[in-house]
Amino acid sequence: MSHRVRQVEAIANGTVIDHLPPSTTLKIASVLADHSDQVFIGNNLKSSDTSKPGKGVIKIANKELSTNVLSRIALLAPEATINIIRDYKVTAKGPISVPRSFTGIALCGNHNCITNHDECTTRFHVINPKPLTVCCAYCERNFPADELTIL
């Protein structure tokens, strides 16, 4: 007889971000949670896919995430999945959507870029989805997305 053991408590309503690389779980939690949010964090959890190492999971009760927040998560964990929970049931599930461009959510890694010296909103275009690589629209330098500082 097999039973399913939950490694992280179930939520009645909210959002679950699953399949996070363990190195990004706490970064993502700090980017998306307000101090008043009820957040459950699991890191280095066993995955049903035994070929992969542990994974991270974040559950946010009573909150669905904005497009802006989802874009921030996509920069840090482009292979994550998002689950919308309503009345303890998954009502929507799918991979995180990686936009074609990111505006105003990360700092350019080029210290000489104008966006780091003037009042400019940063903008990056995706040039490669795997591994996620972006190009600054101002200085035209390429960066692995995981090397950017998220605002």
pLDDT tens track for 11-38: 999 999 999 999 999 999 988 767 788 8
In this prediction the pTM is: 0.84
Supply the CATH number for residue 140's domain.
Answer: 2.30.30.20
Confidence class for position 49, pLDDT limits 50, 70, 90: low
* 38, part of any domain: yes
Both ends of the chain: CA-CA distance in Å?
48
* 7, part of any domain: no
List pLDDT tens digits, range 50-66: 566 789 999 999 999 99
Reduced 3-state DSSP string for the chain: CCCCCCCCCCCCCEEEEEEECCCCHHHHHHHHCCCCCCEEEEEEECCCCCCCCCEEEEEEECCCCCHHHHHHHHHHCCCCEEEEEECCEEEEEEECCCCCEEECCEECCCCCCHHHCCCCCCEEEEEEECCEEEEECCCCCEEEHHHCEEC
* 9, part of any domain: no
* Tokens standing for residue 119: 């009042």
If asked whether residues 85 and 116 sit together in one domain, one would say: no
The number of distinct structural domains making up the chain is 2
If asked whether residues 82 and 112 sit together in one domain, one would say: no
Query: CA–CA separation, 31 vs 53, rounded Å?
Result: 24
List pLDDT tens digits, range 82-116: 999 999 999 999 999 999 999 999 999 999 999 99
Supply the CATH number for residue 29's domain.
Answer: 3.30.70.140
User: What domain range includes position 67?
Assistant: 14-95
